[in-house]
Structure 1
């Protein structure tokens, strides 16, 4: 029966109308996956010797075990936002003599065939082979490797539950961030008890039963959770929701663009994917910690300029790049109304500018790293408002891939609304601030680079009407092609 399921899944995949359209995207994703696989294999192969050289007095296995907790916690966070859980159309199987348990086992089995489950193997398998070559105990290494495999699958099944109960995820996210802050400020080192636990699994091979039992338990919990609602009446029942009218009268002060702003705010509040994009844009605020806390980047101001632009550009980069795809389901209706195209575009621009402003206010704690860093963030915010916002809007005219808001999918693993053209549009948004800052910095000094970056953004704001008029013409020229593209069904 499993063979038949696999055959049906392949036919559904290969015969879909979007299969050929998405080949370019699939190739890009495959190349990205190969890159990460190659890096994982390389790090797994040389990791033992790198740790041995950096910490000659410590056992590399113990060092890895002490930091495994961060690996698994990061895995939980990444899976929630990026892992696309498989979907199986179960209705056809409910009216034919197919065992329900078989269908559920197949569905859960599909979750195990994920890039997130295989990636750790490409690191820990070479690392384990090196351990065996270096004379470590075969039984301990094998048990340790399988315990990591079982923990990885346990996180996979935990993610399945977290997707159904968002409140559990938010509580878990607060705990993870809290533990990270406690570790960072030296208040409580979570690595010590976690390291002791993983070292105990390595030193006592029979302890591999702990992650094995955890994996089995989470599998059974998922099985019972799915089986509970695995009935035809439950599948076809209409979902009833209480509707609350939200007027957002405070947006009326923006005049003609107020209706568009209200639509965007309602869309973000009512739909899962925009809400996840909004949450991920908030995570961009912590991007600077990668660069500002490392001494290696202090002598590379171009990278600091890059980080400063990203700190305040999270919403612009994530939400803005999908304009006008967010409105694809009712874009034809919008375009049939007697409203100026310019007002529609101005509302999108104003929303991005507002988000950059809020992000800049929230980035105030970066003053801790010095006024030079904070001034650079301010200059990056001005560049995002004045130039990156218009570059993003211009790229939207070339983006004609629809986004289905009601589809339950991950915010960033979902490739709806994505096309290779966005990669080209992203280049000036990323390289622009680096070049505008770095050239004056190299020729004159640091302050001149900051001033040039800030002035470029201010000039963009001053010439807002000029940019909007030009972008409006591009959108009007592409209007009917966009409507036709959004009307296609996948």
Structure 2
């Protein structure tokens, strides 16, 4: 039966309209896997010697064990955003004589093949080999390695659960922030007791059974969670929900684009997925603290320009990059209306502009780092409004991955809306502002770099109509391809 499932998925992929595009993207992803996998191998092979040279008085393995907790929590947060959960159209299988347990085991088994499960192995395998070469006990090292493997897979199944509830994710992020704050502010060394636990696990090989039991328990929890909702009547029945009405009449002042703006505000207000993205975009305001507080980056102003784009561009870079996928569930209805496509795109532009403006106001405390830093944030805000917004809308024309706003259905349908094409479109959003700032900064002055970056955004605003017309033509050209792609759910 597993062989049949694999055959079904291959046929679904090969017969889809995005087959050729999918092949090209998978080649790029394979190259990315080789690149990051190679880096991980080098890190794993050299980690022992790097730590030995940096802190010769402490055993490198003890250092690694002390900070493993940060690795696993960060890995879990990264999985939440990047790891695609297993996707399978299960409704047709519900009415044929196939055991539910077989389907669920297949779905959960697919998660073990994720790149996020293999990447840690590229570090742990060479690191463990180095430990053996250095004379560490074979049994202890082997059991420690398998314990790490079980914990990586446990993270995989935890991610499967937290993707069903935003509450788990917010708790996770809060715990990570608290741990890092306590550690680096020297309030309490979180690494000490947790490091003792991992060191004890290494010193007592029999304890490696604990991570194994944890992995099995999490697998069982996921299995029961899916099985509980694996019923045809639950999949096809309509659920009546009370809609919370909000008064948006004040938006009528925006004229013909008001109807689209109201629709977007209601979409964010009523659905968990866009609401979650909006909340996470708020965290981008703190991105500057990574760069502005470090002396190293003060000598690399191009990276400060990079950070400034993120401070005010959180909503644009998260919510904006998924336009028009947010409307995929009713895109056919929108396209059948007698409305100018340009108005639809203009409403998205206004939404991003307002978000950038609000973020800029909220970034006022960065004045603490000096007027030059705040001036860079202001220039970055203008760039986001005048150019990044149009680059984002342009990327939307190439994004044909549908989004299902019902997060609860995430285990059985593609709700990620993630497309590797977005990664390619993201490059000019990051590289262009750095170039616009760095070239005049290098040959003239810091202020010249700020003015160039800010003026590029002003020019974008001046030629707004021109850019929207060109982007509209691109959307119109791919309109029916987009509609066909949104039907492939």
How has the CA–CA distance of structure 1 residues 329 and 238 changed in structure 2, closer, same or farther, with 3 Å as cutoff? Answer: closer
Matched, 1:227 2:227: yes
Could you tell which deviates more after superposition, 29-38 or 369-378? 369-378
Could you tell which deviates more after superposition, 336-345 or 248-257? 336-345
Equivalent residue, structure 2, for 1:401: 400
Equivalent residue, structure 2, for 1:50: 50
Q: Give the 5 Å matches for 1:42-441.
A: 42-396=42-396, 398-399=397-398, 401=400, 403-406=402-405, 408=409, 416=417, 418=419, 420=421, 425-441=425-441
How has the CA–CA distance of structure 1 residues 252 and 7 changed in structure 2, closer, same or farther, with 3 Å as cutoff? Answer: same
1:328 offset after TM fit, Å?
Answer: 4.5
2: CA distance, partners of 1:330 / 1:227: 30
2: CA distance, partners of 1:332 / 1:16: 19
The question of whether the paired residues in 2 share the 8 Å contact of 1:284 and 1:310 is answered with yes
2: CA distance, partners of 1:146 / 1:319: 39
1:365 offset after TM fit, Å?
Answer: 4.0
1: CA distance, partners of 2:284 / 2:80: 16
User: How far does the alpha carbon of each residue in 1:235-258 deviate from its partner, in whole angstroms, 9 at most, with x for none?
Assistant: 443333222333422323323322
Q: Which runs of 5+ in 2 are unaligned?
A: none
The question of whether the paired residues in 2 share the 8 Å contact of 1:143 and 1:202 is answered with yes
1:69 offset after TM fit, Å?
Answer: 0.7
2: CA distance, partners of 1:4 / 1:334: 38
User: How far does the alpha carbon of each residue in 1:384-435 deviate from its partner, in whole angstroms, 9 at most, with x for none?
Assistant: 1233223333454x4362534447559xx97757474x66654443333222
2: CA distance, partners of 1:303 / 1:70: 25
1: CA distance, partners of 2:124 / 2:133: 14
How has the CA–CA distance of structure 1 residues 434 and 245 changed in structure 2, closer, same or farther, with 3 Å as cutoff? Answer: same
1: CA distance, partners of 2:33 / 2:275: 26
User: How far does the alpha carbon of each residue in 1:438-481 deviate from its partner, in whole angstroms, 9 at most, with x for none?
Assistant: 222222322332233234334444x1xxx232134324534542
2: CA distance, partners of 1:104 / 1:478: 41
1:97 offset after TM fit, Å?
Answer: 4.2
TM-score, structure 1 as length reference: 0.88
Equivalent residue, structure 1, for 2:41: 41
Equivalent residue, structure 1, for 2:19: 19
1: CA distance, partners of 2:478 / 2:275: 25
1: CA distance, partners of 2:82 / 2:274: 14
How has the CA–CA distance of structure 1 residues 423 and 8 changed in structure 2, closer, same or farther, with 3 Å as cutoff? Answer: closer
The question of whether the paired residues in 2 share the 8 Å contact of 1:388 and 1:429 is answered with yes
Q: Which runs of 5+ in 1 are unaligned?
A: none
Which of 461, 470, 475 is residue 466 of structure 2 equivalent to? Answer: 470
1:333 offset after TM fit, Å?
Answer: 4.2
Across the two proteins, how many residue pairs are aligned to each other? 482
2: CA distance, partners of 1:457 / 1:328: 30
1:36 offset after TM fit, Å?
Answer: 1.5
User: How far does the alpha carbon of each residue in 1:208-254 deviate from its partner, in whole angstroms, 9 at most, with x for none?
Assistant: 12211111111222222223333444444333322233342232332
2: CA distance, partners of 1:20 / 1:399: 14
How has the CA–CA distance of structure 1 residues 366 and 35 changed in structure 2, closer, same or farther, with 3 Å as cutoff? Answer: farther
How has the CA–CA distance of structure 1 residues 455 and 475 changed in structure 2, closer, same or farther, with 3 Å as cutoff? Answer: closer
How has the CA–CA distance of structure 1 residues 63 and 11 changed in structure 2, closer, same or farther, with 3 Å as cutoff? Answer: same
2: CA distance, partners of 1:330 / 1:4: 33
1:46 offset after TM fit, Å?
Answer: 1.0
TM-score, structure 2 as length reference: 0.89
RMSD in angstroms over aligned alpha carbons? 2.8
Could you tell which deviates more after superposition, 45-54 or 375-384? 375-384
The question of whether the paired residues in 2 share the 8 Å contact of 1:66 and 1:191 is answered with yes
1:322 offset after TM fit, Å?
Answer: 3.6
The secondary structure found in structure 2 opposite 1:240 is coil
How has the CA–CA distance of structure 1 residues 210 and 363 changed in structure 2, closer, same or farther, with 3 Å as cutoff? Answer: farther
